[in-house]
A and B are shown apart, each in its own frame.
Chain A
Amino acid sequence: MESFFIIINDVFNYGIFYFALSFVLINVVLGVFSARELIFYKKKNSFVDYGYILSSPLAPTVSLIVPAYNEGKSIVQSVRSFLSIYYNDFEVILVNDGSKDDSMQKLISAYSLEKVDFAAYEHIKLKTPISAVYRSTNKSFHKLVVVDKENGGKADALNAGINVSQKDLLVCIDADCIIEQSALLKMVKPFLEEKDQVIATGGVIRIANSCEVEDGRLVKPIVPDQFLPAVQVTEYLRTFLMSRMAWSRLNGLLIISGALGMFDKKITIACGGYNTNIVGEDMELVVRMRRYMQERGKKYRVIYIPDPLCWTEVPATVGNLGRQRNRWTRGTAETLWIHRKLFFNPRYGLLGVLSHPFWFIFEFMAPIIEFLGVIFFIVMAIMGYVNWEVFFKLLYTLYCYTVMVSVFSIVYEEMTYRQYPSRTDILKLLGTVLLEPIFYHPLTVLWAIQGNFGLFRNNKGWGKMVRNGFNEKVREEAPVPVQVKDTPAPSR
């Protein structure tokens, strides 16, 4: 029995220690790569005139696909905002995914819509059929296509949009996002400038809670006063500026956020579009597209753009945030499981040897290992086998490390886009950085564990999401911003 304890003790002591150490080192490496990529991107883009794409007949055409479910309160304004994006040749395909509210009626009257005989081919098999396709009789809205279909979920709505698309590239975006007007110009550029075929580009997602919004445009970024949204600001900065940029540089990205992503239409269709049977369809599509290219021996790239292109409202309550993180965990696990063939498979190059194992070990397994470590620690503490001096020294070191990483992400932001010029905002961010490891991180671990339990209970739901709406200054005639809705939380 003694040897059993020694094994358990070794596994936990050595295992968790070295796991944490490797996690720290990998993050340092990723941080360095990100910094290099950010500097390079900023330098490169200081020479760019995006106006060239605006007027060029050589620029690719773009379909903006917006799935919407019960968005009646803000749909008219959202569409207006999407139609005013800077780009020469694009269409906005709004897919009404069987909304139970008055979304369709509002769209029909606001944009003078009429049913048309649209000969859409089902490139991707849909779960529920398209009921009708609408176009506007008003030529000012000639870029708008409205697809009405029975409810089939977000992935199915996106697939319907892909089937109706008549352009070269696809942009999939959440209806409640605020998109920068130059977003398409910036996202298209990598498709034009890279020597290898670009199959997808993603933009950095920023947090819109508390920000000033005017007529569907974000006019002043503000760090929210509430703890949960504020802590997510640094979390998103860390994720996008310090991690995804590095993966983009390494060409090892596994995810393009479902809130905003641009895809090569031909490859998307060839891969079969979005998977309608899982909750992490955004990540799964990117992995599938990469796998498709890899299996055909084609050179390709998936690129992230550090510019703040899309602003979204994040959950502000523990319940909503928990449901969102629960769903993310399930999505990650499902994707990793579906593509388990990639795990340490050298045939898939960097994707198999590095990206997939990294996501499995440090994204999926990390909260589980952490949770087990905590339980083991509690048991050992009860038994009186904890060296408290060592414990506090290690804990303090780890705390300092997490604070340091978050402070670095704020420095990255300061040195690049500086979206929060106010001193108060920076102080707020630094404050959340100090509190995050104590109050926020344990919750994320708990939600991840719940997500795993949900996975085994075969929970396929998105969970109910309640939103507060943007801090929007609206003109009298503009629709009132959304207060409550049943749609899922914004994706990663």
Chain B
Amino acid sequence: MTGDRGLILLIEDEPQMRRFLRVTLQSRGYELIEASSGEDGIAQSATRKPDVILLDLGLPDLDGLEVLGRMREWSQTPVIILSAREQEQDKIRALDAGADDYLTKPFSAGELLARIRVALRHQVMHEGQTEPVFVQDTLRVDLAKRRVFLKESEIHLTPIEYRLLAYLIKNAGKVITHRQLLKEVWGPAYANQAHYVRVYMGMLRHKLEEDPSRPRFFINEPGVGYRLRFEVPPEQDS
């Protein structure tokens, strides 16, 4: 079954990390290409056309952000950043520069696989398919009719609340930075007014979450942004 789920490029210089990821990913049916340096990674991504790229930010030869920038010049392949905890600013910069998601080391195999599934799903949706109705748990959003339901009862949202929710649904499962949300929902002039997102996310939480202080849908990634929880079941892809 090796390789039929997708081709993953891993750009990582630590041999231990590569071994762990090789075993984990191959056992789950992904085909893996390994690159131990930024230059090698860029070359591999051009020749092998992977479905998902896992990129470590701390590479010996090139800055991870530079690797990302050079790949983004010609490719829209989903990139998941692997980084240490102290690099919050780098994470945000990478996300704003076009990375799709990030994982903080140390992470579990389960988290990694979930992110890869989300990335692959978005990759598929990029190619034309759109889902008219978003369903996650008790939340149901009819994107065509612009109606939001929680456990069958309809919830009324303001236009901005709805735009915010719709953008999160479009990127379901992926982390979106404050900046990205502000630019998409309020416009570029609001790019540095993070408190707007915070207030509206609070309003969404209070309308759509059962317990707003223990949200199930709107996951806060402190210092980075938000993520709409979206589980892609492992079976779905096969």
Chains A and B are bound partners? no
Q: Which residues of A contact B (CB under 8 A)?
A: none
